[in-house]
């Protein structure tokens, strides 16, 4: 076999030339990427400084220019979304945050992801969409379980809805996660004053209710006690009256005194029948604590309490479906199955919660839907 050395040498020359061109192109691309990334970083720093100085509109324009150059830059979407949320332009904020957070689950660290899910939560709260707000808040808590910000936001939501006990509990949980987290500590201190006021108001209402109940009871007693008719004077009373004018010595057969009639016993009001079910404790918040932390018997009593409230109790259990703790959400799913008078409402509630990120919660929801 004759080997053509010239062809081999020519082939090797061409191969090495192509190899060198490929390496050169790769190096050129890497150089261009480095320059491009440096350019984007510089633009980001400029936009951040502009916003930090309070120049909001120029900063927004700079962020949009960045997104024209790099449309898929996750951090630019998130930072611009936060600016819109702070401006209360919640719809635009959500449009920027939602897709960026989906990409961010692969790109961002857990703390950054948690903080921007909190921003998304605030945007949904601003729109009044409690379901999506709770979903985003759950994501935030799951991204960084030790971050106090999700619990603080949960406290804010409770406070805005007048649920001061739940708000205080959420702020305390945030402070336990980070004892130096000032937002939670300051809000808890401010809430103590408001909550104390609420307790005073509740006590006043309770005292007034007790006074009204006592007044009704006294009125009932006065109605039932009939005045005693005046009886005719006895012979002894007549003779005693005459004896004052002409005293005489009593004879052995004359009675010295007439025994007084015994007073008729006062009629006591009939005790009012006890209600068929009188749960202890009586408040919603306390029954929530029992439902979450009590034993089986206590949980059953708490569920009966919420059933007695009808749709109001049903909505209270629905709120628990969006608690950051998946164990609480499982308890809520099981409690919903007891509301047999509202099958349609229960089904709608479970379907709304059907995108829960926890597998165990989802299995409970699926099982509960099958039983309906």
CATH number for the domain spanning 176: value is: 1.25.40
Residue 9 has pLDDT above 90, yes or no: no
Number of structural domains (the chain) is 3
Domain that holds residue 180: 148-207
- Higher per-residue pLDDT: 153 or 278: 153
Question: For residue 103, what is the enclosing H or E element?
Answer: helix 90-107
Would residue 214 count as lying in a domain? no
Of 207, 234, 252, the residue that ends a domain is: 207
Q: Is 112 in the same domain as 182?
A: no
Find the Cα–Cα–Cα–Cα dihedral 112, 116, 117, 120, rounded to 10°: 180
Rounded Cα distance between 351 and 247, Å, is 100
Q: Is 112 in the same domain as 155?
A: no
Q: Is 171 in the same domain as 202?
A: yes
What confidence score (pLDDT) does residue 122 get?
93
Question: For residue 223, what is the enclosing H or E element?
Answer: helix 182-224
What confidence score (pLDDT) does residue 215 get?
65
Q: Average of pLDDT values for 57-75?
A: 93
Of 192, 207, 222, the residue that ends a domain is: 207
Q: Average of pLDDT values for 45-49?
A: 93
Q: Is 98 in the same domain as 176?
A: no
What burial letters (b/e) apply to 129-163, b meaning 16+ CB within 10 Å?
Answer: eeebbbbbbbbbbbbbeebbbbbbbbbbbbbeeeb
Would residue 321 count as lying in a domain? yes
Q: Are 80 and 51 in contact (CB under 8 A)?
A: no
Q: Is 53 in the same domain as 85?
A: yes
Q: Is 118 in the same domain as 195?
A: no
Q: Is 155 in the same domain as 101?
A: no
Q: Is 80 in the same domain as 117?
A: yes
| Sign of the dihedral through C-alpha 281, 284, 290, 291 | positive
Rounded Cα distance between 46 and 277, Å, is 66
Q: Is 62 in the same domain as 110?
A: yes
Q: Is 159 in the same domain as 94?
A: no
Which pLDDT band holds residue 191 (cuts at 50, 70, 90)?
A: confident
Q: Which of 349, 352, 364 is nearest to 314 (CA)?
A: 349
Would residue 189 count as lying in a domain? yes
Which pLDDT band holds residue 153 (cuts at 50, 70, 90)?
A: very high
What confidence score (pLDDT) does residue 284 get?
81
Which pLDDT band holds residue 31 (cuts at 50, 70, 90)?
A: very low
Would residue 342 count as lying in a domain? yes
Domain with residue 337: its CATH number is: 1.25.10
Report the range out of 43-52, 210-219, 266-275 with the highest average pLDDT.
Answer: 43-52
The Cα-based distances of 19 to 9, 14, 26, 169, 277 in angstroms read 15, 9, 11, 66, 86
Output the six-digit token pair for 365: 């929801």
What confidence score (pLDDT) does residue 111 get?
94
Q: Is 124 in the same domain as 194?
A: no
Rounded Cα distance between 291 and 327, Å, is 12
Would residue 312 count as lying in a domain? yes
pTM of the predicted model as reported, rounded to 2 decimal places? 0.52
Rounded Cα distance between 41 and 345, Å, is 51
Output the six-digit token pair for 60: 């927004």
Helices (H), 244-282: none
Percentage with pLDDT > 70 across the chain: 67
Which pLDDT band holds residue 320 (cuts at 50, 70, 90)?
A: confident
Domain with residue 105: its CATH number is: 1.25.40.10
Q: Are 70 and 44 in contact (CB under 8 A)?
A: no
Q: Are 320 and 306 in contact (CB under 8 A)?
A: no
What confidence score (pLDDT) does residue 148 get?
94
Q: Average of pLDDT values for 204-225?
A: 60
Residue 40 has pLDDT above 70, yes or no: yes
Q: Is 43 in the same domain as 121?
A: yes
Would residue 274 count as lying in a domain? no
Would residue 9 count as lying in a domain? no
Would residue 278 count as lying in a domain? no
Of 165, 186, 207, the residue that ends a domain is: 207
């Amino acid at each position: 076999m004759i080997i053509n050395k010239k062809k081999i040498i020519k082939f090797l020359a061409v191969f090495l030339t192509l190899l060198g061109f490929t390496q050169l192109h790769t190096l050129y691309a890497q150089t261009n990427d480095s320059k491009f990334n440096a350019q984007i970083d510089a633009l980001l720093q400029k936009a951040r400084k502009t916003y930090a100085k309070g120049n909001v509109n120029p900063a927004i324009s700079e962020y949009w220019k960045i997104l024209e150059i790099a449309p898929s830059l996750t951090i630019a979407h998130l930072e611009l979304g936060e600016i819109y949320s702070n401006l209360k332009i919640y719809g635009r904020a959500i449009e920027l945050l939602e897709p960026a957070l989906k990409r961010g689950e692969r790109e961002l660290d857990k703390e950054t992801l948690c903080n921007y899910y909190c921003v998304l939560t605030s945007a949904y709260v601003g729109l009044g969409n409690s379901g999506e707000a709770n979903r985003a808040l759950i994501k935030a808590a799951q991204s960084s379980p030790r971050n106090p910000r999700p619990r603080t936001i949960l406290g804010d939501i409770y406070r805005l809805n007048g649920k001061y006990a739940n708000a205080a509990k959420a702020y305390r949980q945030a402070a336990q996660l980070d004892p130096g987290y000032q937002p939670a500590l300051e809000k808890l201190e401010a809430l103590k004053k408001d909550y104390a006021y609420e307790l005073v108001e509740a006590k006043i209402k309770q005292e007034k209710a007790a006074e009204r109940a006592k007044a009704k009871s006294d009125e009932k007693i006065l109605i039932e006690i009939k005045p005693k008719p005046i009886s005719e004077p006895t012979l002894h009373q007549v003779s005693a009256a005459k004896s004052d004018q002409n005293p005489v010595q009593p004879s052995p057969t004359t009675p010295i005194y007439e025994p007084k009639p015994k007073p008729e016993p006062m009629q006591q009001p009939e005790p009012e029948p006890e209600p068929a079910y009188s749960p202890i404790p009586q408040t919603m918040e306390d029954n929530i604590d029992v439902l979450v932390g009590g034993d089986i018997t206590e949980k059953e009593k708490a569920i009966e309490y919420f059933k007695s409230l009808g749709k109001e109790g049903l909505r209270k259990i629905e709120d628990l479906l969006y608690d950051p703790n998946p164990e609480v959400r499982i308890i809520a799913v099981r409690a919903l199955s007891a509301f047999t008078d509202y099958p349609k409402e229960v089904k709608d509630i479970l379907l709304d919660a059907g995108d829960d990120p926890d597998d165990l919660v989802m299995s409970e929801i699926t099982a509960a839907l099958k039983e309906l």
